[in-house]
Chains A and B, each alone.
Chain A
Amino acid sequence: MAPRLSRLLRRLFTLLAAGLLLLLPAARGAPTAAPVIPVRVLLPAPFYDATVGALSDFRRSHPGLDIELVRGPLDTDTIADLAVGSLLLGEAPYDVLMVDITWTPLFAAAGWLEPLEPLVGEGVLEAMEPGARAGNAFDGHLWRLPFSGDTGLLYWRTDLMARPPRTTEELVSISRDLQRQGKVRWGYLWQGRQYEGLSCVMLEAIHAFGGRWWNPALGRTELERPAAIKAAALLDGLVRDGISPAAVAGFAENEALQVFAAGEAAFLRNWPYAWKVIEQGGGPVVGHVGVAPVVVAPGQEAGGTLGTWGFALLRGSPHPREAAAAIRWLTGPEMQRRLAVEQGYAPTWTALYEDPQLQKAAPLLKAQRAALAAGPLLRPLTPLYAQLSDVLQRQINGMITGQTAPAAAMAGAQQRSEAVVRAMTGAGG
């Protein structure tokens, strides 16, 4: 019954799509001489807005090929719903899907993606910064090409200090001084809402103390270790001591950014996109913002969470070769040059970082390269990531809203993570 139902739905979908296609030429007016193969790409609204202007270049350089961008919702969760919903129906009405780095193993394991290496070659990533290559392959296959090399960064106020802090202790003491002097209301702003951004912050904190979240060799989390507990204690202390407002427990990227842009804090943890938003916002801190790697414990390597989107090819696309060409172009140097200048996104291609012209046009480039060189942090590369992240978010959010102490929060996180792995892999896998 179930396969028959899904076949029925698929037929219905095809029928609808066919009907729409029949209408399309009429709507477009003039018929074209040679048949143009359209590659349909679903992507979140901000990325659509950032890339749609360059499409004419693609049409010029790829005769007989077209990219149809489908502007998805703004919100990451909502676009995941849309993508998953259409993928579950069988034949998704897209060829290419823009996926977050954390979705790659999940979607690959679900069998929804087509490996890219036969289409784009094994060595395609070699011209990229080493740090930007991570997170695109899983289980021996390349599943996506990265759109950017974005990592978590520390934004600091050049008008309040001569150089950015390197260690967590420096950050805390600078914050205290500035708060005491009444120069800022808050020291450090970050993302503490119960959502994916909190996992990114926590990952950075765990690594800041030399620990790790996930042991891929053993397939288990290491959240009960001292480093993880220290990381939790750091975030907890920031809120308890008033260096971060209690409101961070409700902050996503934008809320934190707005408070920082209003000049109310000395430091902000955010992604590269925040730079342009702050500079274009015209607030009191414009011209006084610097960007640095996130802080770590003394003696530890700095590294921000790798938070990139990328393009993946959906299994069942009728023209994979053309779709691959579109992916190449969407993630190519020209597109990334444009995005670095216009949006402040970090490129992946090494050549772009060495281009003196771009260095001038994109002031973040140096800091971004340093962050990628430091070895950006990968969230657990496993199809169970969504569950693990969910567990961690709940525990950390519970801690910073005052419901548990750091050690208990991490013990709970470890225990629940183990339960997830046990339940999932013990259940017929």
Chain B
Amino acid sequence: MSGLSLEQVSRRSGDRVLLEGLDLAVAPGECLALLGPSGCGKTTTLRLVAGLDPCSSGRILLNGEDITHRPAGERQVAMVFQSYALFPHLDVGENLALGLRSRGVPRPERDRRIAAVLELLELTPLVRRRPAQLSGGQRQRVALARALLRQPRIVLLDEPMSNLDARLREDLRPELRRLLCGGEPPVLYVTHDQQEAMGMADRIAVLQAGRLEQVGGVRELYTDPRTRFVADFLGRPAINWLPAEGGRVLGVRPEHLRPQAEGGIAARPLRREWWGHQPLVWLETPHGTLRMLLPAGGELLDYLMVGWRAENELWFDADGRRIDGAGPWRQQGRARAV
């Protein structure tokens, strides 16, 4: 089997469980984003794959070969750190050369490959600068260059863009994809930013408290979340939650709420903010505050009724697991005006 696969991988440090029984497969050339809040185990996973920390149990396979106990230096991993981890005492050229040198790549080949990657990333004029003399974006490009020079079998990216401003991040996504994804090595991309995950990854694995919640395509996770956590974590503005009988909860995304003439829930608009060109309306209802994303140009009255289509309902049981085929939602008691 080709690509990277993790089988029942766990990591414990003292009494703390950092990762528990993770099963994950990444195909060659596929970019898989590890998404989750801080402390969820995504960076731990990356470090285990890199070989920087040992697995407490489980196996890591690369193209069918067990690399669980391979030293980090032998795994042929390229890793881009959140801090970029550029060597502050060396200039750009030396930063790129150090790894090649310690792997014993002869001088002429070294020079040739460095020149090529400098050219590719438009770093040639900066070759004699030290990291402290570079901008954030330039540093990130140096870190990328170093990763490319590794000729990796696995590519690991640990929040590689979190130190850049939002605009730059968006601009860089296609470049990052072009350079790192789609080749032979599988790519693991750690981020806490769902926008970035959705923009970069072919598939997303959502982690929480050391466990895998769900893994799947971007659309799949959005439209068909298997747990309440995934539904809640993905999608902005965040999903609305409506309590139902038996401890169940109903999730309805803000863009699926809409004003309707009749039926539904009585609501009073509290305030309105702009979500891009769409107005986001905060509604006071008998079931709590709801968020409704209106189509562009939508009009609002002082009092209104809101509803949604049954097919947009996402039902979860008391343990946060998805229930298929429940609903539709019925209002408990009589609707009362607010």
Are A and B in direct contact (Cβ within 8 Å)? no
Binding site for A on B (CB under 8 A): none
Question: Which residues of A approach B to under 8 Å, CB–CB?
Answer: none
